[in-house]
């Protein structure tokens, strides 16, 4: 009889210990979810600070009484302007950080059988499907960056011509030819122009996962592993492909978890899906992409979610800019392109009324515009290559993460599939 009592006591202790371990696991999961949401909020708050008007402040150079005073009056450099090349590089960095942390929360140390139970049995396949569409958008954006680089080269030709002293009719004609080609390319019809048509001829587009064999992502990955650059991430697509419809498809069924689901793994899946859709939407709005007619200006994100506040503010700001733009299907909202287009129009007007020799006042005004155009071209020269490389990195990260999730799901799906007799 005493033995039975001791045995019962021992079993009770095991039961209590199991409950404690389970509670610790739940506490750790909640802590991970809270940290993930906080990091998302912090990253996008930093990105939103670029959208706010810079506050006027005195330069630290005005108060240099001592080294200590200089340090106390140090003013950090302002964040990059919203929708600039540097801002998009920060956005893609933020996406990669969120994606890495999300994968750790979702997969690391997780029982794979959880993915076969509601609501994850529905949410995970939806996320994987969105990731495929995101790969196609990465391809489109990569080609769009190539088009912007072509515009940059035309701008550099005009700058080189107009920086000559004195400016003669020959230099003005050369600059006008380059600027006219630049403006014509920007204004060209979106269906014919965007993504790859960098020399005025229709060019083939590319899908991430094609319907035909050969090459594609595997070929791109092999080239990347060999340390070689590649111009396309995969192969051709039909001209009927629409980036706007792709975004619409990605945002379909994007609904926040409700009830008990809001404290489980459904929440990080929803957060990552929202981030993925937002990043791809912002890229499509800013960089020339095929068929952007009807691009949404609002994404379905509930305002009561604390982590979503800066993201919602960003999408509202970008959406307002998109609505204001008359030629929505053409150049896009990239800040450097917007400035380049305005300067090109002004310099073409100057070239139409050019008379040699120029008046001194007009020469000073033109020199200032040429200097501004040169600065924009320099920013493009420095930033477009790294931006394109980051888009490729996002592409390959999505491919790897998708493969890792499928690797976790595959054994579970085999176990749950009934054996045919």
- Categorize the per-residue pLDDT at 306 as very low, low, confident or very high, splitting at 50, 70 and 90: confident
Measured CA to CA, the distance from residue 339 to residue 346 in angstroms comes to: 11
Classify residue 249: in a domain, yes or no. yes
Q: Given this model, what pLDDT does residue 36 score? A: 94
User: Could you tell me the end-to-end alpha-carbon distance of the chain, in angstroms, rounded to an integer?
Assistant: 52
pLDDT above 90 as % of the chain: 49
Tens-digit pLDDT profile for residues 363-394 = 999 999 999 999 999 999 999 999 999 999 99
Residue of higher predicted confidence among 360 and 10: 360
59 belongs to a structural domain: no
Q: Is residue 76 part of a domain?
A: no
Residue 2 falls inside a structural domain: no
Give a yes or no: residue 109 inside a domain.
yes
Average pLDDT of span 401-412: 84
Domain assignment present for 78: no
Q: Residue 195: its pLDDT value, please?
A: 46
Which tops the pLDDT comparison, 306 or 108? 306
Does the pLDDT of residue 118 top 80, yes or no?
yes
Q: What are residue 299's phi and psi, to 5 degrees?
A: -110, 145
Domain-embedded: residue 350: yes
Task: Classify the phi-psi angles of 227: left when phi > 0, otherwise alpha if psi is within -120 to 50, otherwise beta.
Answer: left
Q: Give the pair of three-digit tokens for residue 246.
A: 């792709």
Residue 325, domain extent: 29-48+86-416
Residue 22, pLDDT score? 44
pLDDT in tens, 14-49: 444 444 444 445 677 788 899 999 999 999 999 998
Q: Does the reported pTM lie above 0.85?
A: no
Average pLDDT over residues 236-262: 85
Is residue 253 left, alpha or beta, with left meaning phi > 0 and alpha meaning psi from -120 to 50? left
* Residue 110 to residue 115: CA distance in whole angstroms: 9
At residue 207, what are phi and psi to the nearest 5 degrees?
A: -100, 160
User: What is the number of other CB atoms lying within 10 angstroms of the CB of residue 204?
Assistant: 13
Kindly list the distances between the CA atom of residue 14 and the CA atoms of 6, 43, 206, in Å, as whole numbers in the listed order. 12, 43, 58
pLDDT tens string 327-349: 544 688 999 999 999 999 999 99
pLDDT of residue 16: 44
Read off the pLDDT of residues 172-197 as tens digits, 9 standing for 90 and up.
999 999 999 999 999 874 444 444 44
Q: Give the residue among 155, 156, 102, 122 at the shortest CA–CA distance from 255.
A: 122
Higher-pLDDT residue of 253 and 40 is 40
At 165, the pLDDT band (50, 70, 90 cuts) reads confident
- Tally of structural domains, the chain: 1
C-beta of residue 104 within 8 angstroms of C-beta of residue 265:
no
Is there a domain that residue 344 lies in? yes
CA dihedral sign of residues 193, 296, 135, 129: negative
Q: Name the residue with higher pLDDT: 109 or 250.
A: 250
Rounded Cα distance between 236 and 211, Å, is: 10
Chain centre distance of CA 195: 16
Query: Based on the number of CB atoms within 10 Å of its own CB, is 397 exposed (0-12), middle (13-18) or buried (19 or more)?
Result: middle
Flag whether pLDDT at 76 surpasses 90.
Answer: no
């Amino acid at each position: 009889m005493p033995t039975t009592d001791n045995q019962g006591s021992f079993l009770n202790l095991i039961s209590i210990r199991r409950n404690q371990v389970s509670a610790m696991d739940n506490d750790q999961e909640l802590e991970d979810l809270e940290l993930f949401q906080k990091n998302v909020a912090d990253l996008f708050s930093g990105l939103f600070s670029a959208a706010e008007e810079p506050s006027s402040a005195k330069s630290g150079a005005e108060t240099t009484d001592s080294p200590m005073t200089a340090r106390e009056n140090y003013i950090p450099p302002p964040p990059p302007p919203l929708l600039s090349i540097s801002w998009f590089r920060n956005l893609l960095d933020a996406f990669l950080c969120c994606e890495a942390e999300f994968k750790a929360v979702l997969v690391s140390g997780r029982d794979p059988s959880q993915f076969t139970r509601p609501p994850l049995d529905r949410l995970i396949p939806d996320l994987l499907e969105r990731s495929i569409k995101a790969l196609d958008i990465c391809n489109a954006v990569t080609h769009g960056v190539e088009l912007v680089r072509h515009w940059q080269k035309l701008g550099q030709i005009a700058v080189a011509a107009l920086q000559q002293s004195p400016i003669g009719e020959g230099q003005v004609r050369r600059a006008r030819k380059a600027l006219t080609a630049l403006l014509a390319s920007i204004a060209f019809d979106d269906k014919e122009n965007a993504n790859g048509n960098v020399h005025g001829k229709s060019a083939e587009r590319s899908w991430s996962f094609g319907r035909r064999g050969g090459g594609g992502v595997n070929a791109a990955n092999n080239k990347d592993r060999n340390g070689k650059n590649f111009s396309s991430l995969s192969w051709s697509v039909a001209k009927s492909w629409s980036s706007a419809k792709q975004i619409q498809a990605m945002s379909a069924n994007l609904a926040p978890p409700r009830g008990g689901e809001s404290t489980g793994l459904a929440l990080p899946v929803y957060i990552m899906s929202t981030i993925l859709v937002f990043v791809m939407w912002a890229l499509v709005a800013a960089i020339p992409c095929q068929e952007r007619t009807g691009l949404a200006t609002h994404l379905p994100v509930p305002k009561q979610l604390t982590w979503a506040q800066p993201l919602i503010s960003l999408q509202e700001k970008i959406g307002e800019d998109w609505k204001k733009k008359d030629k929505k299907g053409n150049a896009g909202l990239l800040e450097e392109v917007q400035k380049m287009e305005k300067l090109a129009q002004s310099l073409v007007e100057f070239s139409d009324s050019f008379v040699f020799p120029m008046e001194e006042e007009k020469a000073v005004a033109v020199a200032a515009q040429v200097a501004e155009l040169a600065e924009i071209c320099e920013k493009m020269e420095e930033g477009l290559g790294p931006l394109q490389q980051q888009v490729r990195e996002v592409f390959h990260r999505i491919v790897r993460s998708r493969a890792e999730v499928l690797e976790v799901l595959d054994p579970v799906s085999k176990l749950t599939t009934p054996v045919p007799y």
